[in-house]
Amino acid sequence: MVKPQQWFDADMQQPPVLAEPSKQQTLQRLLQQQFPQLENGRAWFIRFKQSDCQCERFVELYHQSFAAQADAKTMQVVTLDLAKDAVDAETLGFIREVIPATPSVALFSPQGEVIYFGPYHQDGICNAENSYLEPVLASLRQGQELTVLNTLVYGCFCPIQ
C-alpha cells in the first residue's frame, strides 16, 4: 500500500516541470502509446491514480460522475493506474519526473497542450463545487485559452512509486 502524504515536501517543483512544452509533448506521446485510442483533435482527460493509494477514495465518485457525463465527441477520458496497468520503464520514469503524486489529472486541449495539471481538489471529498477542474472545463467548453499547472496544494496525495 502506498502511504499517503498530507502535503508535498521539498521535492515539489514550482514552476512544475510540466510547464515546459517539450515535457508536455513527451507526456502526450507516451500516453498515446499507452492508450492508442486517444485521438488528436479532441481534449484528453487523463486521470493518474495508484489503486493502492488510500487518497483515491476522495476523488472516485467525482471521477465516475465526470466520466459518465463527459461529451465523448469533444473529450476522451482515460485512467492510468500506475499500480495496476502495464507501464513500461520509460513511461513510468518520465511520469515520476513530471507528476509528483496521485490522485492527479492532466487535461490536454484539442490542440495537444496541457491546459490543466494538478489535483482534482483541495481537502476533503471532491465534488463539482470544490473541484479545481470545473472552471478549467468551463473555459475549454467556451473555447477560451487557459493554462493551470497546480502543484502547491494541501490534501491527501501519494508520491508516485
The CATH number of residue 118's host domain is: 3.40.30.10
If phi > 0 it is left, if psi is from -120 to 50 it is alpha, else beta; for residue 151 that is: alpha
Q: How many structural domains does the chain have?
A: 1
pTM score > 0.85 for this model?
Answer: no
pLDDT means per 10 residues, the chain with 161 residues, are 46 63 92 92 92 86 84 90 87 88 88 84 60 74 74 71 77
Domain that holds residue 103: 5-33+41-159
- Residue 61 and residue 116: Cα distance in Å, rounded? 20
* Residue 132 bridge partners (DSSP): none
Which stretches within the chain are classed as H helix?
A: 21-34, 60-69, 89-98, 133-141
Instruction: Please say whether the beta carbons of 47 and 63 come within 8 A.
Output: yes
